Amino acid sequence: MSKLVTIFGGSGFVGRYIALRLAKEGWRVRVAVRNPEQAGFVRPYGVVGQVEPVFCNIRDDASVAAVTQGADAVVNCVGVLAETGKNTFEAVQAEGAARVARIAAGMGIDRMVHISAIGADADADSDYAKTKAQGEAGVLEHMPNAMILRPSIVFGAEDEFFNRFAGMSRFGPILPVVGADTKFQPVHVDDVAAAAVKGVNGDASGVFELGGPEVKTFRELMQDMLAVVRRRRLILNVPFFVAKIMASLFGIGQFLTAGIVKAPITKDQVINLAVDNVVSDDAQGFDVLGVRPATMATILPDYLWRFRPSGQYDAIKESAKNLRT
């Protein structure tokens, strides 16, 4: 019988790519999510019954134990960019990660992959970065041989980074950003999945920082994105002190509307945007894992074309202009 892996957050952006790769390698995949009825799209990743979404609340011991039972390995992809209700940074990224490791270890499981983030630091000013570090510590306390992956900003067809700003570029001549000079090392989501599979298969363990081939500032990334979507926009850098005031006002608006109107940016995110998000000089990375990361130039046009002025017809119109001349 093929081995079973439980992927917490397996229908999320990174989790679905890990699920797909493991299914192709013959693993039975249990996708543990809060809303399994919305995760049915993962079923076709394998043959009938090979990939199954199941309910799990990562904040509850019994729920985590139920979906971990019988597994040979676990992967934790659960994280939040902004706190909502009971899903706080502490509850999800610190306590939740430790809970998965503790329960898995108690069941005799010796393989775990935990998705963290570059910038995880117990002494950080950002609660996001601080709880990411606490989550790593909790995992290693119970699973010393776990694989911890710290990706820089992750891009791909379902990302909330390039898609978000490409969408914003359709509504006016100005594209505002916070931290235009902050450096990032974007990594393709499927490359992160390839690294995770190494840990599930027992081929690697330890802490790895994952970044793509290019290090660029936020401004440069937006320039690349605008070139792909073929739009000219003024990139406006919003000073950090102004961004914090705006984030506070957005937070009040979200509170007054009971979360109906979501804050486009939080104070914690502003704090994070002040820190470079690149692989450390002394960190283990893709080279150790034997994974060659994709460049943005080979991936971005595949999914950002829909933000071009004429969408899928943009290239055809350009060709037609050449014919007329």
CA dihedral 17, 66, 128, 87 (to 10 degrees): 110
Partner residues linked to 188 by β-bridges? 155
User: Apex CA 116: angle with CA 250 and CA 102, to 5°?
Assistant: 115
The confidence score (pLDDT) of residue 323 equals 66
Are 42 and 11 within 8 A, CB to CB?
yes
CATH 3.40.50.720 fits domain 4-158+185-215+277-294:
yes
Q: What is the band of 100 on the pLDDT scale with cuts at 50, 70, 90?
A: very high
The confidence score (pLDDT) of residue 2 equals 81
How far apart are alpha carbons 83 and 91 in whole angstroms?
10
Are 135 and 114 within 8 A, CB to CB?
yes
The confidence score (pLDDT) of residue 224 equals 98
The confidence score (pLDDT) of residue 85 equals 87
Q: Which of 103-107, 129-133, 257-261, 317-321 has the lowest mean pLDDT?
A: 317-321
Whether the predicted pLDDT of 241 surpasses 70: yes
pLDDT digits (tens, 9 = 90+) for 11-24: 999 999 999 999 99
The mean pLDDT value of the chain amounts to 94
Whether the predicted pLDDT of 281 surpasses 80: yes
pLDDT digits (tens, 9 = 90+) for 146-195: 999 999 999 999 999 999 999 999 999 999 999 999 999 999 999 999 99
Average pLDDT value for residue range 256-266: 85
Whether the predicted pLDDT of 1 surpasses 60: no
The confidence score (pLDDT) of residue 233 equals 97
Are 262 and 250 within 8 A, CB to CB?
no
The confidence score (pLDDT) of residue 238 equals 96
Whether the predicted pLDDT of 325 surpasses 80: no
The confidence score (pLDDT) of residue 257 equals 84
CA dihedral 27, 30, 36, 40 (to 10 degrees): 10
Which contacts of 304-311 are long-range, i.e. CB under 8 A and separated by 24 or more positions?
304/162, 304/163, 304/166, 304/225, 304/228, 304/229, 305/228, 305/229, 307/166, 307/167, 307/169, 307/170, 307/229, 307/231, 308/229, 308/230, 308/231, 309/230, 309/231
What is the gyration radius of the CA atoms in the chain, in angstroms? Answer: 20
Lookup result for tokens 């992750």: 154
Residue in 219, 163, 153, 209 with CA at minimum distance from that of residue 186: 153
Neighbour count for residue 81 (Cβ, 10 Å): 12
Chain Cα centroid distance, residue 102: 23
Q: What is the band of 256 on the pLDDT scale with cuts at 50, 70, 90?
A: confident
- Tokens for 29, please give them: 């995949």
How far apart are alpha carbons 221 and 2 in whole angstroms?
42
The confidence score (pLDDT) of residue 32 equals 98
Parse the chain into domains and list their residue ranges. 4-158+185-215+277-294
